[in-house]
Amino acid sequence: MLRFLTRRTLGGILTLLIISAVTFFLFFAVPADPARLACGKVCPPELLEQARHNLGLDQPLFAQFTAWLTGIFAGRDYGGLGYCPAPCLGYSFVNRAPVFETILDRLPVTVSLTIGAAAVFLAFGVATGIVAALRRGRPTDKIASVSSLVGASLQIYFVGTLALYFLVYKNQILARPRYLPFTEDPLGWAAGLTLPWMVLAIIFTANYTRMTRSTMVEQLGEDYVRTARAKGMPGHSVVLRFALRGTLITIVTIFGVDLGALIGGAIITETTFGLQGLGRLSLNAVTDSDLPVLMATVLVAAAAIIVFNIVVDLLYAFIDPRVRLN
């Protein structure tokens, strides 16, 4: 297990390094001039040259990448433009602040949105899929299948806009979406994110219902499940100990990818409900041509997906005894 974890961690670090290199070189391939962004709209030529020197843009491209990579662990001084302490993911000359501080400020919003929505759509999606599989061909199965198909076809901005109008502004059933720190007001934190959780869960619950139902039907037809039933094992034990355990492999795999992607930033959801998370941050970075922030959000999203994939690989050994991590 330790050897496997070490190998997967080193592989993840190598992957993240490759992604950072590709992202960095794309950063300098875009038409925008980082020095001009740092200097401002009205920038005399002499100040523009000074900004290029402080940013290291007068150095070879590989030297610039090395300086940027070293700055992540040692910090970096941008001269008169600003100082970025370690860990330094760059300095935003639009916000006039280190990018890592901005990421830490927005991360709790995205994490809160992700955890709450994931708990809802995982619980309801798996439970509905199991019920549909156990009642295959019956009205319950047909209703669940049609509902999941409709849910998977909906878009967040459409459902979110309708939910805001009917549940918040017109009938005032739910609180207006906003973020409050959990440590300051747990009830306000949950109330402000309830509607985004519900809307985000509608889309994902449909996918998990369909996936759980199809995988569970397949598992219920396996020989070891029929053998357990033939030996007189209770129905709930057969479902929970055998069929569901085989289904969890597929569920955990997709869940790890979805969770990593949501941590990287739910752009449409955060924009629809006005939440200032990583998704909204990356969208603003594109609009403002804030390239350091854009690079950092890409790396954060990549790191989240890599970490959750490693966790998923480790969970395989605990879910399915047939998996061997050799």
Residue 201's pLDDT is 87
3-state SS assignment for residue 294: helix
Which residues are CB-neighbours of 236 under 8 A, at least 6 positions away?
Answer: none
Instruction: Give residue 250's pLDDT.
Output: 85
Q: Which residues of 264-286 are buried (b: 16+ CB within 10 A; e: fewer)?
A: bbbbbbbbbbebebbbbbbbbbe
Rounded Cα distance, 132 and 135, in Å: 5
What is the structure's pLDDT at 285? 85
Q: What is the pLDDT of residue 119?
A: 92
Q: State the amino acid at position 297 in one-letter form.
A: T
Kindly list the averaged pLDDT for each block of 10 residues, start to end, along the chain of length 326. Answer: 78 88 76 66 73 76 84 80 81 82 92 92 91 88 86 85 91 91 92 92 88 88 81 80 82 87 81 90 84 86 87 79 58
- Rounded to whole angstroms, what are the CA distances from 56 to 65, 78, 94, 231? 10, 8, 18, 73
- If one counts every other C-beta atom within 10 angstroms of the C-beta of residue 221, the result is 10
